Amino acid sequence: MKKTPTEYPSLSPAIAVKDAAKAIKFYTKVLGAKELYRLVDPDSGKVGHAELMVSGSLLMLGEENPAYNKGPKTLGGSPVKLCLMVEDVDKFAKKAKKAGAKITMEPSTQFYGHRSASFKDPFGHEWMIFKEVEKISPKEMQKRWNDLAKKK
């Protein structure tokens, strides 16, 4: 574990979870996250703040604390989806499911040129994983989206 804070990118998600220590284990196993450090509350022993590197990006997390933040389970869902590029969407989705995630969109190739899948992790956060399989211009994406809408 790295002992000093990282250099901070201009935008980094910070999420709240129930059982942050368990979440860190899940994200390490499934996302390949590397824990940089964690701050533990001396009274409760719970993780107040932790920083993880996920594919070169910073993910901050901490134990849900009603005075500061609430996680998706407390809120009844999440309005945010965390998106992650991966090498093999199908393999990654299977790994997430095996570790306790619920697949909400099976892997499939999408109109926007990515092979994509979605899952909800055991802590209620929603993730989309994808890999670009075709370079598509925004103009072509719009055309394909329009064509899909006509089929509905």
Q: Which residues contact 11 (CB under 8 A, 6 or more apart)?
A: none
pLDDT tens digit sequence for 42-93? 999 999 999 999 999 999 999 998 888 999 999 999 989 999 999 999 999 9
Backbone angles phi, psi at 24, to 5 degrees: -60, -45
Same domain, 11 and 32: yes
For residues 144 and 53, what is the distance between their CA atoms, to the nearest angstrom?
35
Same domain, 60 and 8: yes
Residue 46 lies in domain: 1-74
Same domain, 3 and 69: yes
Domain finish residue from 52, 74, 96: 74
What pTM does this model have? 0.87
User: In the β-sheet with 81-85, what is the strand arrangement from edge to edge?
Assistant: 81-85, 126-132, 114-120, 102-109
Same domain, 16 and 83: no
Q: Answer whether 31's CB lies under 8 Å from 57's CB.
A: no
Tokens 């932790």 correspond to 50
Same domain, 18 and 51: yes
Same domain, 46 and 85: no
Instruction: Place 3 in a pLDDT band, splitting at 50, 70 and 90.
Output: very low
Domain finish residue from 33, 59, 74: 74
For residues 129 and 88, what is the distance between their CA atoms, to the nearest angstrom?
9
Instruction: Place 6 in a pLDDT band, splitting at 50, 70 and 90.
Output: low
Domain finish residue from 31, 55, 74: 74
